[in-house]
Structure 1
Amino acid sequence: MGTDRVTVADLIFDRLDTNGDGVLAADDYRASADHVLRSYGMGPSSPKGRALIEANLALWQHQAELVDRDHDGMITREEYREWVGSLPPSDSGRPSGTPEVMAALHAQFNVADRNGDGLMDRHEFVVWRDLKGVPAQTAESSFQLIDSDGDGSISWNDFSEAAHQHGLAALLYGPR
């Protein structure tokens, strides 16, 4: 696996490992959803809250089946790196997201879309990425990749198309 994929795998792993114990488990995926919801002042029983929690737990289930080689209910960093290395490339040659990853991101996108218009403006995008530890300048660069028509807002379709073109990591953690 190339250095770029290892770096991406480690970035994502570290953000998912919410309790910092060095492995991923279902609790980490739930805690990640809870953190996003709390940051936006939403509860887990709100429609967007339920959708995000369900998407994150479905992502855990899918990844546990594919990635947890020893079936111990935990994904190690090495297992996660191997899985990221196996993802199909985008047009840019960088990993693209699986349907489960995209569903979890779509649920986060909907939470971050505060007014529910289906669009995320630059500020909403930067705040969303800040929740995952992405510096504002890096998020700005990512937003520019996604906002291909330059209208100052992005739809989920814009995000999905940009993920296919540039690779998901470029949108989430900045162009490389």
Structure 2
Amino acid sequence: MKQVLRHRIDSTFAHYDVNGNGVIELADIYALANRLLRAFGEPAASERGRDLVEAYDRFWEVLVDHCDADRDGKIGPGEYREAMIEAFVDHGPFDADFLEVVQSLLDIADTNGDGRVDAAEFGVLLRARGLGEEECGMAFAHLDTDGDGAISVQEYVAAVRDYYTNPDEDTPGSWLYPKALQHI
């Protein structure tokens, strides 16, 4: 596997390991959900807040099902790397579960309820991941591949697959996480 793809997988592992203890645990996933709740200004007790937490619960279940090889409730870097290679590089069984999680995430990002995730809404998600304002605009322009002014589930999933499979550093997927994390 090309070095840039391995680096991307390791970078997303580091993003998900919020507390930096070397493993991804449920507490890390809740920390990510809380980061997004704060970014969207959404109380955890609201309907949208509960929906986001439930989406992250499902995300955790998907991660554990596909990544936690030793079933200890923790995902180590090797487990994560192997599962991401299988899921995206080798096109494993991750797709159906992942689509549901992405749909839930984009539903939460659609703060005005118009059924679309526009640049401003998607920017909130990207800023919570560490992108700056200018990077958010550039990322949105790259991810909105059909140019309709919104990010669809299909565009997002295609970008995720691209992130894990295409080593080119100027493809839509290369804009999912902060550029600083991607460069080797």
Structure 1 residue 117: Cα displacement: 0.7
Counterpart for residue 18 of structure 1: 18
The residue aligned with 1:163 is 159
* Structure 1 position 142 matched with structure 2 position 139: yes
Aligned residue number for residue 168 of structure 2 = none
Alignment of 1:51-62 (within 5 A): 51-62=51-62
RMSD: 3.1
Letter of the 1:59 counterpart = F
Structure 2 counterpart SS, 1:51 = helix
Residue from 170, 176, 181 that aligns with 1:172: 176
Which shows bigger deviation, 12-21 or 134-143?
134-143
| CA 52–97 in structure 1, closer or farther in 2 if over 3 Å, else same | farther
* Counterpart in the other structure of 2:100: 103
Q: How does 1:82-121 map to 2 (within 5 A)?
A: 82-89=82-89, 98-121=95-118
Structure 1 position 101, deviation (Å): 3.2
Question: Structure 2: how far apart are the matches of 1:45 and 1:62?
Answer: 24
Deviation at 1:25, TM superposition (A): 0.8
Normalised TM-score (structure 2):
0.75
Q: Which amino acid aligns with 2:177?
A: Y
Q: Give distance in 2, aligned partners of 1:94 and 1:62.
A: 15
Matched pairs, number = 172
Cα distance 1:22–1:50, how it changes in 2: closer, same or farther (>3 A)? Answer: same
**Structure 2 residues without counterparts, runs of 5 or longer:** 165-172
Distance (whole Å) between structure 2 residues aligned to residue 173 and residue 96 of structure 1: 23
CA distance in 2, matches of 1:108, 1:29: 13
| Native 8 Å contact 1:19 1:28 kept in 2 | yes
Q: What percent identity do the matched residue pairs reach? A: 31
The alignment partner of 2:48 has SS state of helix
Q: Which amino acid aligns with 2:176?
A: L
SS at match of 2:55: helix
| Number of the residue aligned with 2:31 | 31
Q: Helix, strand or coil: the match of 1:22?
A: coil
- 2:77 alignment partner AA: R
Preserved contact between residue 142 and residue 174 of structure 1 (Cα < 8 Å): no
Question: What secondary structure is seen at the aligned counterpart in 1 of 2:176?
Answer: helix
Judge conservation of contact 1:37–1:111 (CA < 8 Å) in 2: no
Structure 1 residues 48, 144: closer, same or farther in 2, change over 3 A?
A: same
